[in-house]
Amino acid sequence: MSVEELESVVSRLPSAELARFSEWFAEFSADQWDRQTEQDMTAGRLDAAAKGADDHFAAGRCTPL
C-alpha cells in the first residue's frame, strides 16, 4: 500500500476511528523512536553528545530546568 492510499483511507475515517488511529500511531511512532535511540546508544552514536553534556555540566555551564 502506498502513502497516497493510506492518506486516502485515513482521510475517510469517521472521527472516532480517526481518534483511535491517531492514538495508535502516536504510540507506534514513539516506540519506533525509542528503538532507534536504543540502537544509537548501543552503537555509540550518542557518546560524543553525552561527553559534551558532561563537560558542560562539570564546567558549570548548565542551568536548572
Q: Which three cell numbers stand for residue 27?
A: 504510540
Distance in angstroms (rounded) separating the CA atoms of residues 43 and 36: 10
pLDDT digits (tens, 9 = 90+) for 25-44: 999 999 999 999 999 999 99
pLDDT confidence band for 50 (50 / 70 / 90): very high
Residue 63, in any domain of the structure: no
Residue 34, in any domain of the structure: yes
pLDDT confidence band for 47 (50 / 70 / 90): very high
Distance in angstroms (rounded) separating the CA atoms of residues 36 and 33: 5
Number of domains in the chain: 1
Distance in angstroms (rounded) separating the CA atoms of residues 16 and 18: 5
Q: Which three cell numbers stand for residue 65?
A: 530546568
pLDDT digits (tens, 9 = 90+) for 9-26: 999 999 999 999 999 999
Residue 64, in any domain of the structure: no
Residue 65, in any domain of the structure: no
**What's the pTM?**
0.69
Which residues, including other chains, have CB under 8 Å from residue 46's CB and lie 6 or more apart? 37, 40
Residue 15, in any domain of the structure: yes
Residue 19 is part of which domain span?
Answer: 3-58
Residue 46, in any domain of the structure: yes
Residue 24, in any domain of the structure: yes
